[in-house]
Amino acid sequence: MISLRGRTALVTGSSHGVGAAIAEYLAKSGANVVVHGLDPTQVEAERAKCAAQGVSAFGVTGDLIENQPAGVAAVVESAFEQAGGIDLLVANAGTYIDTPFLEMSYELLDRTMKLNVYSYFLTVQEVARRWVASGTEGRVVLVGSINGRLSEDVHVAYDASKGAVDAMVRSLAVSLARRKIRVNGMAPGLVETPLTAPAFADPRFRAWMELHTPNGLVPGPEACASTVAFLLSDDAWHVHGQMLLVDGGMSIWQQPDLPAE
């Protein structure tokens, strides 16, 4: 397993789902972890899971949408104060809304962009300013989505936001590389989490996903975590501005096979 011992990571949106799997894997890799979320009970439960790996783990609650940019700054400040500094950042907090384009309200569009795009930008900015001031050689991973490359008819706002994250990874990498800050991204395909469980409860949907994925697998969120750990590690020292898709090959398969008769 990759070693991140001696490092401290802030993982936004890590009280459940993909973010929780990332936080736990980083802890198993030896990193101290700051868990972030909205629900104090969920944050504490996940913090305890990380601490059980024998590392220092901390919990921060805070809304990354309301009162931007001050709300984002407060979360970052709390993370630095509790942990005594951080040198790894995983921007993961996000949302998606199943709403057809012609029915999408401005309020839903605004909420999607504020969390999926603005909070990423502001969080990295707050953290990077501290790193530059202290001379810290930091590492950043932005969690994107296969939807940054592939489209769905009821996810126009979500698709657009994740396309922006794709571009942000490249731009931030160029902007921060000379500051000794390395920026990359990890984009999951559809993974099975409590959020997606209702869809996977339909056997036809699961069969469709397996059919359209070259390796035929639909994993849980733990499939994403090792990629994030690699991108944060010394082993990825020369990897800058890349969005690695963890999707079983779905994004590269133009013509999936027809179902068997």
Six-digit token string for 112: 């999607």
158 catalytic residue (yes or no): yes
Q: Identify the active-site residue in 29, 162, 226, 233.
A: 162
Residue 59 CA to chain centroid, in angstroms? 17
Q: What pTM was computed for the model?
A: 0.94
56 catalytic residue (yes or no): no
Q: Identify the active-site residue in 29, 158, 161, 226.
A: 158
The listed range with the strongest mean pLDDT (88-97, 162-171, 184-193) is 162-171
145 catalytic residue (yes or no): yes
Q: Which amino acid would we find at residue 79? A: A
- Per domain, the residue ranges of the chain are 8-243
DSSP state of 192: -
85 phi and psi, to 5 degrees? Answer: 115, 150
**What is the structure's pLDDT at 260?**
65
Quickly state the pLDDT bin for 259 (edges 50, 70, 90).
low
Q: Identify the active-site residue in 14, 15, 145, 233.
A: 145
Per CATH, domain 8-243 is 3.40.1450.10: no
pLDDT, tens digit (0-9, with 9 covering 90-100), for 138-150: 999 999 999 999 8
**What is the structure's pLDDT at 73?**
98
